[in-house]
Structure 1
Amino acid sequence: MNESECAGRLIWFKATAGNDRFHTSVFQQRVGVLIDWYRVLRSDQRGDRFRAWGIINDPACCTPGSPDCPAKNLDETYGMDWCPGDEEMLGYVGRSGYTDPACDFRDALLKEDDVHGPADQRQSACDLKFGTSTGALGIRKFPNPRFDKAAWQRLNGNPGSWEGYNRPIAAAGAGEAARSHLQDGAIEPPFLIGTACGSCHIAFDPLNPPADPANPKWENIKGLVGNQYSRISEIMVSGMPSNTLEWQMFAHARPGASDTSAIPTDQLNNPGTINALINIAKRPTFADEQVLKWRKVDACGDDRDETRCWCEPGRDGKCWKKSLAPETVHHILKGGEDSIGALEAIQRVYFNIGSCSEQCWMNHLSDLRQIDPQQRGFGQTPFNIGQCRRDCPNFRAIEDRLPNILDFFMSAEAHVTDLRAARENQLRATTPDARYTEQDLIDTLEHEFGDNAVARGREIFANTCARCHSSQPEAAAGQFASLDFHKIDLGSGMREDWLGNDRSTPVSEVGTFRCRALHSNHMTGHIWQEYGSETLRAQPPDPNVREPGDGGRGHYRNISLLNLWAHAPFLHNNALGPELCGKPQHAANDFYAMRPRYVDGSSVKLLPAGQQPACFEYDPSVEGRYRLYKMSMQELLNPAQRIPKVTLLSEDVTLRIGPRLWDGTAKERLLGFELTIPSEIDGRGVTAGTIGNFQHKRFIVDLVRAKTAPQELEASLTQRFGKDTGAKVLADLKVITGELVGKPNALVAALKARPYLIKQIYSSCTAEIENDGHRFGEDLSEADKKALIAFLATF
């Protein structure tokens, strides 16, 4: 790599940009969702870490007491792995004065055309905040200066245990799960834990997978492939019992998928895959989109309004100006929502993982417990890039180095990982000069799928798939016959075709699970408003979708099919293909067993255990990936054979409403009442989406209006749902207000008697079947389906 690419890679792998406080305290205490970092990262379960959590172990770290490990026992590292840099860092646990390793980061030279040059005026690299590895790539630890070792030992028995810290405090009601010291600010852990972007994107190299996934070497690892085994959702709720509302709503994403809007919630159940960042230099761009954003300038002139132009104090000509202008941009995220430029899209990743939370965006989130529309926190408000730049040095530290990260995206590490090359590497492990050519791959595929399968598959792809899954201009013009999908750019050595056009397709045309397409955080007035273009927001809604589609919603971008063989299962939520599972040794971490997905399509109830198809055990080997690809392609091309998948509540959820009192004993007391959300209503399972998509705030407001302003509500309901449905809703709301008088516990019973209110009227998304849709190709003959599978394996 060149100097800039190398700098970008180090930042991608190590920089937390100050989110250690978020992941240790803010998330738990402000959002109320608990991460048990010890459960996830405890060193005595290092060998089980990948199978449980999909985490990639850091090859440079070790379990204390193992051969050649500098730390001799778990007490030295407080139960965590020993990693390079810990010889100094551990000495600062419980005291201040630690100098972060990022302070020694060697910046690449400032680019010659940088408007803020020629002098290097970048924010101090210390604010990148590297810390040291936790033993899991992309997850970093920092010494906690507030740690009290004596108090820790009294609580846990010894320094290397966290068993007292995460021990539950008995709940006030028998139905609801207990909380623990994870939410108790009076007890501080030894480390603050932060995450880098690499925590999701670092993965095993499909060209050179590890012999043992629990013990990879550096040559087995790539930083941009995307970790398709990662259980980010389960990590985020690792400190929550499974019968809590938070666990049931958060822990719904499949391995390799993450609901990036779960924290800045738009009340949509919409996890999406962690994208493979491949051949970005060939990814389609879109010219002349109208973008309102901050751009670098060397002076503000007479404009002294900091909402439009701002110069950093103490710097010479380091200014930014906000303006509306045409730009050439990518369409990023599943619906193309990040659309103001690649650099800004990279920057926003850091907010998704907690950077600058208190300075910039926590107060813009919707408080799910706030139901008074006149109060702050009832709904989202737009995050302000200009304010964040001024108030958060971590923002500036990343922003000043975004060109380095983008250069890393354009580096050889992001080049394709072809099946041909992977098989050649396999052969070279035993025969160093072995060759496996394109023709060898074709011969192997045609031996498996039939004579002339690859050539026939190319014709089928051109006629059936290329209008969406090709980036060549001829494909956009409908000229498919002469396209060369394998054409190489002689200058870069990359394929010319990105095998996706990133254009928006109405979700009803694709037919897949539509909840992600209804994502609303980029809309005007919402949290990430400043990261969506005006062109995006002007996109007309899909007329065939019943839910609101304004503000650019209701579409999916057409994804790339590059290296499809290595990235199954398919669809934006990894729902198409076998369900993945890790089968860890510790049953408490066997999340697939806790949440099977296959249902009876008519009753939306889980199939009995004996009828649940077997899961596909994690297998990052070349042949393991290829086998999973073939199984997933069979499901893709044969929709009628798919068994429906739905994420259901796995158990009843009890909520306590009212203040809790705890006197320091083993039991807390509740002053209030309990509500139980059943996992089944009228013989049908309750989906996680039913709860996650329930617009409870609008429901409560309408319930109040049914009593205080029924005529206004009637007009509103008629406009939203039509006269007949509006009248029915109003009548039911009036009845419910009577049922609740003096009996607040009656609310669940009232909704249970009228499930359409939750599932249809007050739902952000009514879709249930997660592996539905994308039926293109189902009418092909069996031979043609085999040919298409063979051809797609050559990409």
Structure 2
Amino acid sequence: MKLKKSALALMLSGVGFIGLTGYSGASMAVLFTSKACKNAAGEILDEAMCVGRSADSLKGADEDYFKDMDYGITKNPEELAKTLAPFVPGITPEEAVRRVAIGRNNWNVWTAGNDRLWDTMSYRSVGTLDFLKSLSNHPSLKFSRSNRWNYLGLVNEPCFEKPTGPRKDRYGLWLDVRSKDCAPDPFENETKYPGVKYGARGKNIPAGSYYGYATGIVGVRLFPNPDFDAEAEKKWDPERYYTDPTYYNNKDLVRPYRVGMACGFCHVGPNPTNPPADPENPKWENLNSNPGAQYFWINRIFSWEADRSSFPYQLFTTSRPGALDTSLISSDYINNPRTMNAVYNLVPRLLNAQKFGEEKLGGGSLNNKQLNDFVPADSPLAGFYKAPDTVFTPRVLKDGADSVGALGALNRVFINIGLFSEEWLTHFNPLIGGKPITPIPIKQSRKNSSYWQTNEAQTPDLALFFIAGTRPDLLKNAPGGDKHLSTDAAVVTRGKEVFGERCARCHSSKLPEKAYSFFPNGGVGKNYLKYWDNYWKWTQTDEFKKAIDAIVKKDDFLQDNFLSTDLRVPVTLLETNACSPLATNAIEGNIWNDFSSQSYKNLPSVGKYTVHYPVPDAKGVVPTRQIDMPGGGLGFTRPASLVSVWSTAPFLLNNAVGEFNPSPAVEARLQSFDSSIEQMLWPEKRKGNVQYQTANGKMLPGWIDRTYDTSYLRVPSGYLPDLLNKLVGKIEGGKFAGQDGLELGPIPKGTPVNLLTNIDLDQRTGLWNKLTHGAKLVDVLFTLKRDLKKLPKDATDEQAAKVFANAVEPLVNASKCSDYIVNRGHYFGTDYFKEANKEPGLSDADKKALIEFLKTF
């Protein structure tokens, strides 16, 4: 029985993790890298505080190194000071440049000690993720600096070149080399920014800078590994690290460097109006800090071997370019890829928050720092918090969960990519789940992490940078952009009218004054649905349409318009995939408890919601089923901003509508926009491998993400605990890719991916539900594993599919999100809208007019 339980634990952890590591919780302890140190009270400290480094010793870099980025906003200090003066009264041009530089450096090079997290994840993912390889150029790899943009979607940093061989100064790693005609990277200055001497750092391996070394990839920094002591150095073999799986697939391997990630890694992209002639070799002036990594291939970056027979790789492939599951590490048992947010028009967004963004804090969320903890009392920025518990906050996350104020939302991002991972990782089982999740406490984290304190001190300057640097990227300003804009004034005017009538109620921060009266005190909390329903009905009246028509037709309508309300829209109205609004990380008692408001946690249930079975009938139609959407914050999506919408396709919150074009050129962006907006407004043209029924009874093509090849869950023997390693032959046997290990499968081609990834391992509703849910889950997974084992070695997909067919219904019932069609919903303006009897679909002419107006955004 022990053997069965061990194997089952591997299966459970495999299906529960987005990278499918194959570890039971008990074996995880062997995979931590640097052991966290503790104070006398037994509280965990970060590496900086552990060695006595205070936040004052980790001050923000003030070099204006990125001055050519973001339209060169700091090149005109006087103009920059005028932009910031309303928010920081009396700011001088010199101070404006310095503070914006600190904010931009924070975004693009500050990693806040998160190199520890990403090193840990290399082990937790049993080698699936290895950032040190992802930024390398070894001939054995499928990628290098020469094709890094096209293959990985990563932005090559200017001033670097591809190496001709291994670097002696980097322990034989094939890393980019700084160009000789470029000045040194200022952030590598060890005198000005002395690295944290922890473990081996400062002993047999240099301490470096607390900004790390530049890597040749924007937003990624390299840090000496404190675990790389003299013994690890003797065992290090850089050539085997690239070429020998029995060497690099080993839980005991210690790499000489850890890789840190700045926010810019997921947010810097080509300037839409000044794209690089060669995206593999951009110049700084071709890059902006805010569009989002729209071209990011998550599957290839987070699964460096890109092995089609690996289920993790196929799972990552459900993240379309530019989309990433933000609950990747702190798993919520839902495969939830969502677009990496562009950050446009921050000032209008903040002003919109004063009308629609009021939230009430409570419990741990009261411990967030607010803007007026840092800025003068006479600054408008100080008005976004009203003591003791009221904030006026933009909602950046798709589900509107980040609801504790702008600075709190920014700080949460840094935690999610590794800030104070020493503490954070103790509150859940990274990647795979399987143990109760507890909130990361702000108060204690602030006390015990110097990086945390530093981060909070720098976010006000980050906010100033966004105030100055998030202007729209307008098509009219792009090379050749004018020829794509309509010269027919009547058509554009009609587009404005259609936008006002059908779109502005969700996609404009300029609305009739009466709109705000529907949401007293922000409207959030238990009565939100009543407020929303009253507002929605009013937007269908002649009164609203007449008032918004006048606003939309004003010459300044698009000026300082965030083109969203940030209101939470019920998914029952949107009809989009339910998995994003079902994400639970921010609900009461979960990991982000302190980063969501009490009013968010008090939101009501949106009621029953129709989803679709993952397997179609003989006619290719997937049956419908209803689920009860929980309350407490779940069930809503905030409208996307339409600023620069011409440059941000494909569409929907997961980039599932429209064709992706890998080129950042203006013509390529418009090609993707044309495809995507056509599918948005003519849903019958969307990609489909099934047919499904909408809420108003009409049929549409829909897409279910399925495995596109036979695949397996694999754990190389070097990552298995010793006991299992000895027994693995008795349990499973066999080899894969020339190495020993555990292999579970085959998972047949055509298996719905989310059937395996969305299994709820954290059932929280009642003791009896927990017990029965767990028992049923154990039974179905063990049966599935047993039946797969019975298959012949050369089993066909058809044979494996029969095994999986018996498990479909139990797996659907055990799912945390049993919604499988990823490109459905948002039928506004079409005949498929559930309220088409009140608002019939637009004519083709009106749709085309609307598109012409959207191009001017």
Q: Please report the TM-score for the alignment, with normalisation by the length of structure 1.
A: 0.71
The equivalent residue for 1:136 is: 217
Q: Does 1:259 align with 2:325?
A: yes
Specify which of 167, 173, 181 is matched with residue 248 of structure 2.
Answer: 181
Q: Distance in 1 between matches of 2:390 and 2:180?
A: 46
Query: Does the 8 Å contact 1:83/1:132 carry over to 2?
Result: no
- Cα distance in 2 between the residues matched to 1:128 and 1:537: 41
Q: 1:224 to 1:679 in 2, by over 3 A?
A: same
Matched residue of 2:222: which SS? strand
Task: Return the match for 1:417 from 473, 497, 506.
Answer: 473
Equivalent residue in structure 2 for 1:22, among 117, 121, 124: 117
The verdict on how the C-alpha distance between 1:514 and 1:789 changes in structure 2, with shifts beyond 3 A counting, is same
CA distance in 2, matches of 1:768, 1:253: 14
When residues 12 and 86 of structure 1 are mapped into structure 2, their CA distance, relative to the original with a 3 A threshold, is farther
Q: How large is the Cα RMSD of the aligned pairs?
A: 4.2
1:13 lines up with 2:108 in the alignment: yes
Paired residues for 1:265-664 under 5 Å: 265-283=331-349, 284-285=352-353, 286=356, 288-292=358-362, 293-294=366-367, 325-358=389-422, 360-366=423-429, 378-411=435-468, 413-423=469-479, 441=482, 445-446=485-486, 452-474=490-512, 477=515, 478=544, 479-484=547-552, 487-488=555-556, 495-545=559-609, 546-578=627-659, 580=660, 616=661, 618-644=662-688, 645-650=703-708, 651-654=710-713
- CA shift digits 1:199-258 (9 cap, x unpaired): 001111111100000000011011111120012353223268544444343442111111
Q: Deviation digits for residues 433-461 of structure 1, max 9, x if unmatched?
A: xxx9xxxx4x85336xx672211111111
Other-structure match for 1:774? 826
Instruction: State the distance in 1 between where 2:189 and 2:842 align.
Output: 64
Tell me, in whole angstroms, the C-alpha distance in 2 between the residues paired with 1:88 and 1:218. Answer: 14
> 1: CA distance between counterparts of 2:404 and 2:824?
31
Shifted more, 524-533 versus 763-772: the winner is 763-772
1:688-699 map, 5 Å: 688-696=753-761, 698=763
Match of 2:11 in 1: none
Query: For 1:607-655, what per-residue CA distance to the aligned partner results, in whole angstroms no more than 9, with x for missing partners?
Result: xxxxxxxxx3x11111221221111111111101212233212323246
Match for residue 763 of structure 1 among 810, 815, 822: 815
Distance 1:145 1:656, change over 3 A: closer
Q: Does 1:789 align with 2:851?
A: yes
User: Residue 685 of structure 1: which of 741, 747, 750 is its match?
Assistant: 750
Describe the SS at the equivalent of 1:632.
Answer: helix
Q: Deviation digits for residues 310-369 of structure 1, max 9, x if unmatched? A: xxxxxxxxxxx99961222222200111110111111111112112111x2101114676
Corresponding position of 1:177: none
Contact 1:289 1:327 in 2 (8 A): yes
Flag the 1:654–1:380 CA change in 2: closer, same or farther, 3 A.
Answer: same
With over 3 angstroms needed to count, the CA separation of the structure-2 counterparts of 1:656 and 1:488, relative to structure 1, is same
SS at structure 2 position matched to 1:458: helix
**Aligned with 1:773: secondary structure?**
coil
1:43 Cα deviation from its structure 2 partner:
3.4
Counterpart of 1:99 in structure 2 is 190
Measured in 2, the distance between the counterparts of 1:643 and 1:349 equals 33
| Residue in 2 that maps onto 1:300 | none
**In structure 1, how many angstroms separate the alpha carbons of the residues matched to 2:652 and 2:99?**
34
Query: Partner of 1:94 in structure 2?
Result: none
- Give the deviation of 1:794 after TM superposition: 0.6
Q: 1:577 to 1:444 in 2, by over 3 A?
A: closer
CA distance in 1, matches of 2:847, 2:397: 29
Q: Secondary structure at the match of 1:521?
A: coil
Alpha carbons of structure 1 residues 774 and 83: separation in structure 2 relative to 1, 3 Å: same
- Retained in 1: the 8 A contact 2:564–2:641? yes
Give % identity: 30
Question: Aligned equivalents of 2:716 and 2:279: distance in 1?
Answer: 45
1:301 aligns with: none
User: Aligned-pair distance for 1:419?
Assistant: 0.5
Q: What does residue 532 of structure 2 align with?
A: none
Distance 1:558 1:200 in 2: 21
- 1:738 to partner: Cα distance: 11
Task: Report the CA distance between 1:83 and its aligned residue.
Answer: 3.3
Letter of the structure 2 residue corresponding to residue 294 of structure 1: N
Tell me the equivalent position of 2:378: none
SS of structure 1 residue aligned to 2:155: coil
CA–CA separation in structure 2 for the residues paired with 1:233 and 1:660: 21
Structure 1 counterpart of 2:684, one-letter code? A
Q: Distance between the aligned counterparts of 2:412 and 2:447, measured in 1?
A: 16
CA displacement, residues 183-207 of structure 1 (integer Å, 9 cap, x when unaligned): 433x332322111000001111111
Residues 657/166 of structure 1: CA separation in 2 closer, same or farther (3 Å cut): closer
Q: CA deviation at 1:402?
A: 1.1
Amino acid paired to 1:466: A
| Shift of residue 672, structure 1, vs aligned partner | 3.2
* Distance in 2 between residues matched to 1:735 and 1:211, nearest whole Å: 57
How far residue 388 of structure 1 moved from its aligned partner, in angstroms, is: 1.1
Correspondent of 1:219 among 285, 292, 306: 285
Partner deviation per Cα, 1:671-728 (whole Å, 9 max, x = no partner): 5347745544xxx9322211111125659x99xx9xxxxxx56x998xx9xxxxxxxx
Q: 1:733 to 1:11 in 2, by over 3 A?
A: closer
How many aligned residue pairs are there?
633
1:672 is matched by which residue type in structure 2?
I
Match of 1:314 in 2: none
Structure 1 pair 474–733 and aligned structure 2 pair: CA distance change class (3 A): closer
Task: Kindly provide the CA deviation profile for residues 82-138 of structure 1, in whole angstroms up to 9, marking residues without a partner as x.
Answer: 238999999xxxxxx993764599xxxxxxxxxxxxxxxxxxxx9993112110000
**Do the aligned partners of 2:319 and 2:337 also contact (CA within 8 Å) in 1?**
yes
Give the whole-Å Cα distance in 2 for the aligned partners of 1:743 and 1:794. Answer: 57
1:744-790, Cα deviation, whole Å (9 max, x unpaired)? 9689988742411112x111112112111111122222221111111
Distance in 1 between residues matched to 2:855 and 2:171, nearest whole Å: 49
Q: Secondary structure at the match of 1:46?
A: coil
**For 1:192, what is the secondary structure of its paired residue?**
strand
